[in-house]
Structures are given as C-alpha cells and as structure tokens.
Structure 1
Amino acid sequence: MTQRFGRVRIVLTALVAWAALAGGGVAGGAQAAAAGDSLRQVAEVPVAPGVAYGEFRTTVPRGIAHGHLLTVDLDDPRVTVDLLYPGAVGARSPVSELADARAAVGAVNGDFFNISETQHPGVEPTGASVGPAISSGRRLKGAVPDGQRFGPAMPPGATTEDVLGIGYDHRARLDRLSLRGTVWTPDGPLRLRGLNQYALPVDGIGAYTELWGPVSRQRATCGTDTDRAAPCSAETAEVTVRGGRVTELADRPGAGGVAAGSVVLVGREEGARQLRKLRLGDPVHISHRLVGRGPVPLRFAVGGFPIVREAQPVDGLDASAAAVRTAAGVGDDGRVLYLMSLDGTPGEAGMTVRELAELMSRLGSRDAVDLDGGGSSTLVTRDPFSRDVTVRNHPSGGAERPVPNAVGVFSFG
C-alpha cells in the first residue's frame, strides 16, 4: 500500500481542475455554481465504476474552505458501502489501513469515539465509537447514553442512536437504531441496556462479546447518563456466560478478550445488584437486536447526528465553533451517497456545523449527518491503475489519526 497526502495524481485532471478554480468556473461534468454562490467544484475523477472523487473550495467568513468529495452511485449494482473497523469495537486504525485491508476503493472516517479519559484517572480510554454500528449486517454495538458522547453539541431532538445507514434495498437513509435485548435468568428477565459500549446507562446491564476486543470494560461503569465526567460507579458486577451457563463471577469489570461463544455481562448500580443474584452454573440466555424505524433492515450503519433534513439545515446547529469536519449526505431518494472531508492544511478555513449543513445541502444532499472531525477527518481513494491507497485531504494533525471505524466504498466492476 502507498499512502500519500495530496491531490489527484492524474496530471490532465489536475490541470483541468485548477484551471476551473482559477477561472471561477466549473469544468465540464461538475455541478455548476449559482450566480453569487461561492461554491466552486472541479470536474470529478472516476475512481471505480459508480464512484467519483472531486475537490471544491467555498468561501466562509474566516477565509476559503477546501474540501474533498466522494460521490457514490448506489443505483449501480457494482457498488456497495460498508462499515470498516479494525476487527474489534475497542480498537483503532488509520482510515487508509482500514480501506486497504478490505480493498475499498474509497473511504472517510466514521463516528466520534472515546478518545480520552482525563476525568477518570487510571481508566483506560477504549477507542470505541459513540453510536450504533452495523457491518455487513452484523450488529457490532449499541449507542452510549446521550450525556456520555464525545463531539460537538447535538441539535435539539438528536440522540446518540441516530445513524447513517444503507438497507438491504441498496438505499441510503438516516435512521435511528435502538437496542432491544433481554437477559433471561432463573429469577426472571432482565433488560439488556448495552451492547459492546464504552458507557452503560445508570442501573444498566451491558453485554460484551468477542467483537469488543481485549480493552478493559471498566470505562462502561464511569460517568452518568447526563455527565460524562461523573465518577465511576462504586457498585459493579461482572458475569461470564458460556454455553448458556454462568461460568465466572466478579465484583469489578475486567479486561482481556471475550472468548468466542462467551458473553460477559457488566452491571452497575441496580444492574449489578441483579447480576449478583446469579450463581455458577445458573442457566442464562441473552438476546439482543438493533431496531430501526425504516421499513427495510439496515445492512450498514454508522453513528452520526443529523444536520440536514429535506435539503435544509436542521434547527439548533452550532454556528460559532469552526473546525475541520467530515460529513455524509444522501441524495436522489437514497440512490446517491456523498462522503465529504475538509482539508486540514494550515491556513485552510474550517467550518461551523451550521456551515457544514449548508455545504452538504449545496452539494446535493437532501439529508446529511455530521461525522467525527478535527484530526480524525480523512478521505482516501484507491488509485485505479496502481491500486495504491492515497489520502486525499491533509489531516489537521499532520498524519492520520487512528479511528474506530470508517465508511468504506466498494466497486466490483
């Protein structure tokens, strides 16, 4: 794999693109800018059948913002989109490595994640993402409580359960995925309130599977539903279930990978009290699913809060803090997916979330979500000739930041 920070390497395309920008126009094939509109796009470059890459510049009050865009035609039967992740929920890798490992033709970084734990000395950050996640139809995790999320403030009405997804009908949409689960015990059913999450609701019980990875589960019992910085709970319990029977009991959440075929249950407060009633050998059955609101189940889902609905910015978006940002948008009744990352080169202007929403609407999105930004913002493509993966934007930290997941684009043509 070759990793490069830079613009399109095809010389003819670059010349056409920058000539268009310099002249204030748009090369053939690019979306035209309306009179008085500061958005200037260049001709898109085919990356693979049904997938194109392009760049744009737009004026914001702080200067010129430079962005990178993947346009994905979901009507093309050769194209699919899936969640990329490093084999475990509690793990991170650079976007270029995630894309290369799965032979994706393009990708952008995904959800916000548990990046630090300065409020809880001695507690290991998990690297796990905030929202629900589905990869190739496989449920990876549920959403943490709203007050436990990392990232900019969500607009009114948004929750950590909000996702961008693509259903088995090959159509993209914004949805909301809620965890529905039960722990069946000899004393009766207990509600399951977490699945491979770095934070559990107060009084809750969470399930951790082999997909969680070896990172500690201690963080799950820290903070509250409304305060991420609140102290860790003093009342916890952990139960290991294998083959439908309790095989281990502990007072504190542990670390180390969960064996295939096993499930580790972690409880806090009332959830811990309920788990302590279990004894070695007790029969326990655990069931869970992620329930969406759309008519077709999602095959892929990544967490992100809505910023555009019906081609308009949603109310209550932050309009003060500017940063490098990544977003994903849906157009043409779910038939087109737009994946965008701003450039983090020093001197390039960032955007507020409100400006990001306006941008995604102008790019063609009828609905859009905000994804992780700052040093995480990364967009990559695979060269159609050399097959090398290239980082198209310049990450603001000077190098790629390892992230828990990414939106990967595939084309089998």
Structure 2
Amino acid sequence: MAKSDKTSSATDQRESGRLQVISAIRKAEEIARIDIAKITDFSPATVTSITSELLSAGLIEEVAVDEATRDTKRGRPRVALKIRGAAHWVAGIKVSNKTATVALMDFEGHTFAEFETPLPKSQLSGEDMVDFILHSLETATSEAGISISDLSGLGVGVAGIIDALRGFVYWSPSMTERNVDLRDMLENVIPLPVFIDNDANLVAKAEQLFGMGKSHRDFIVVTIEHGVGMGIVIDGQIYRGTRGCGAEFGHTKVHLNGALCRCGQRGCLEAYVADYAVLREASIVASSMGDETSEKKLEELFNAAKAGDPLAKSIFQRAGTMFAMGLANIVNIFDPELIILSGERMQFDYLYADEVLEVMKKSVVQIDAPLPQVKIHKWGDLMWAKGAAAYAMEGVTEHAIRKISQDAQS
C-alpha cells in the first residue's frame, strides 16, 4: 500500500471514530467519557483524545454532573459531555402537496423557530421549486431574527424517488419535471450545503433521533398523507436502495392492471389507500361529492362510514384490506422490531383499526414468536421538517468532522 493510501486509511478511521463518539453523545444527550468508551468499545485514552478534538472544535461541551445523582462508588467523573447547541444552526423544509413547512434547529436538536407557507401551485417546475424554497427560507429566517448566512446547512424533504447522495430528483408528485438536479440548483442560489431526501426517509430520521425509533436499531416508518411512503432503518442506518427507490412502499403492486396511480402506473398500493384514491372511488359511487376541499370531503366520507353508510364503509374496508396486505408483506420481507404508522391521515383510523391489523397478522408467516409492534404516531408537517433538519445536521456534522482532519494535516 502506498504511503498516501495509508494516510488516507488512517484519516478515514479517525473520522469514523469521531463520528461514532459524537453520535454516542447525541443519542445519550449527556454522557461521561467512561460510558462513551463502553458504548463504542474504544479505549478510555482514545475517547479522551477524540473528545478533546471535539471540544476544541466547539462541537461538544462539558457540563457538571448532578452531585445528588452521581455514583461515587463507581468513581463517575464530575463532568459529562453534551452536544453544543450553539455550534451550528440548520434548517429543514418539508414540501407537501399544498404547503411547505420550515423548522430551524440548533446543533443539539432543539427547534427554535418554525414557519409554514402555502405552495403557489400543487406542482412546480424545477426553477419555481428553487425560488419557492429560497423564499420560504428567507421568510422563516427573517421572522426568527436571523439570516440565511447564520445557518450551516439546509435539509429538504420532498415526496418521490430521490437519489439522496446526488440530491437528484428522478420523479416527484410536487414537480412538473423529471430528472432534476435539485441540490445543485439550490446550492447555486443558497450559500449553504443542501441535503435532499425522500420525505418518508426524513420522517424515519426524525423518529430515530427524536421519536419512537430512538431505542430501536431496526424499524420501519410508513407514512400516509396525500400518498403513501416508507422509511427503512436497518442496523441504525436509513436504507435507500441503489437507485434511491428502495422503499417505495406506495408503489408496490397489489393489483395487476388495477387503478391508475399518480406515478403513471397501475395497480400501486397508493392508488387504493391514499386520500386521492379514496375520494376518487367515492366520486364514482356517490351522486355528488360537493364543492368542499379534499380534507373536508374525506372527513365527511369517514363520518358517513362511522354512521353506517354502506357505500362509505365499503370504500374504507377495501382500503384497509389493501393496506393490511401491504403491511403483511413488510413483515414477511423485513421482519422489523417495530412498524410506525405516521402522517396526517392517522386522524382517521381506517388504516390501523383493529380489524385491519388482524388481517395483517393473519397474512404473515406464522411462527412461535411475537410479531413486530405496530405503533401510531400522529405527526404533522413540522415533524417532517424536523426530520429534514436532522438530515442536514448529520451532513453538517460530517463536514465539521472532516474539517478537524483537514486542520490536523495542515
């Protein structure tokens, strides 16, 4: 191996070690050096060296341990380490079918400002999307009393098929064009590193850092909004697939040559369970759906089903059965510890009613072991935006760790 290759390998190992240590600190919130060593399997000397670098870089800080809770018998040190919130500020934007939500977050993960604005149209061109995101970010930072230059990174979550590594949008229902270099376009007008991913992946990231997935290494998030998405966490990492479309649960096929999906294909799960699919079927069987908004129509249809209307009940029963089969397929393929159902449509229980979950249980491979837990988390758009901010925080952390290596070599 050439000398430069050895240097590069050693640098990569040091960066990996720093990332593991800062990740352990972030997850614990406050933690002593000796406990970091136990979690990472690093020697106490290595932990001391790495944490000294992180302290010098201003990424972490020491805090006093509460003497009332300190374990004196074990000789626990009088200081613990935590993420330094003021080290960096990041922004996260969730673009939905009608609005964009912005969350501004410090490096510790605390949201200090939020903002929501309607989309000018349900679908935007690439250039219009860039202008809209820039305007939303400018407005949000202005209302928070800061400027964009005070931020260290921007995370963007959009529905569709995204190559997160390239920041490339293959297809999104929010955009009129396919194959858009959205990250490059944004970085041309916003003086920040930009991190883009599928919005369901960012919900999984938010669950991992702040929500029900915090104590799990393997879990799956299924999101039900205008469409159906899925975020997969395997061994603590988001799984995206080779092309960025490895978790398109809504576009798995459940009916050959079936209902038309908004992606352009037929028979997708989303074409049977998403809100537009439910309303489309309702408009076929009902004489009139009125002139209300889609949210109002869905609420009226749901109330009619609860009141015993046979047509309304049949629509939701069909959607629930399709969804149960989809969940059963997830269990049979991934066998996760936990499935989290999240999104705006969690206000209606037709996709997670007891009878739906019973259909799922009957359709999975039967063995003498407990099935994965299924939990409901009724998060709104702000939590999606927090997931985008958390994704930006990860990217900013990696940049900061890389800078430590560069400074050490200079």
TM score, norm. by length of structure 1? 0.27
Whichever structure has more helix as a proportion of its residues is 2
Whichever structure has more strand as a proportion of its residues is 1
Where relative contact order (Cα < 8 A, 6+ residues apart) is larger, the structure is 1
TM score, norm. by length of structure 2? 0.27
Q: Which is higher, the Rg of structure 1 or of structure 2?
A: 2
